[in-house]
Structure 1
Amino acid sequence: MKDEYDFSTATRGKFFRKGARLVPPVHLEPEVLTYLSDLAETQGTSLNDLVNTLLKGDIERLDAEK
């Protein structure tokens, strides 16, 4: 790493996008990933769609308990 860097030609906020949302990665345990991947394939859907459907169902149940 250099002792000094020249930022005289840099552009402030070049990559800033107002309202951009960070989508954090979700890490599943290997057994859970295998199970859900197999289930998604059996149902003919993507892993993302299956996980979102399952989580939405859980959210509805949690909200109903309130």
Structure 2
Amino acid sequence: MREEYEIEKLNPRKNPYAKLLKKQVTINIDEDTISYFKKESESEGIPYQTLINLYLRDCVAKKRHLEISWT
């Protein structure tokens, strides 16, 4: 292995998986909603943030739309 490499000669490529990378966001979620996902995550054995992400990805994949009715 070389001690130094010439970066300019390496021909860097863009990451083909860059679109799949996660982006950190800040979001306000009700306490009871967080508690629900934390309890579900314990029974499933995965982190609650991962569970929330999986749920949201499922909504996107199935193109679910909200049905809101204000009474």
**What's the CA shift for 1:26?**
1.6
Give the superposed CA RMSD.
1.7
Give runs of ≥4 in structure 1 deviating > 4 Å: none
Equivalent position amino acid for 1:41 in 2: E
Q: How many residues align?
A: 42
Give the TM-score of the pair, scaled to structure 2. Answer: 0.52
**What's the CA shift for 1:24?**
2.3
Aligned to 2:50: 49
Segments of structure 2 that go 5 or more residues without pairing to the other structure are 1-22, 65-71
Q: In structure 2, how many angstroms separate the alpha carbons of the residues matched to 1:27 and 1:41?
A: 22
SS at match of 2:56: helix
SS at match of 2:55: helix
- 1:11-62: per-residue Cα shift (whole Å, max 9, x none)? xxxxxxxxxxx73212210110110110001100001110111000000111
Q: In structure 1, how many angstroms separate the alpha carbons of the residues matched to 2:28 and 2:39?
A: 17
SS at match of 2:25: coil
Aligned to 2:38: 37
Segments of structure 1 that go 5 or more residues without pairing to the other structure are 1-21
Give the TM-score of the pair, scaled to structure 1. Answer: 0.56
Q: In structure 1, how many angstroms separate the alpha carbons of the residues matched to 2:24 and 2:50?
A: 16
Equivalent position amino acid for 1:57 in 2: D
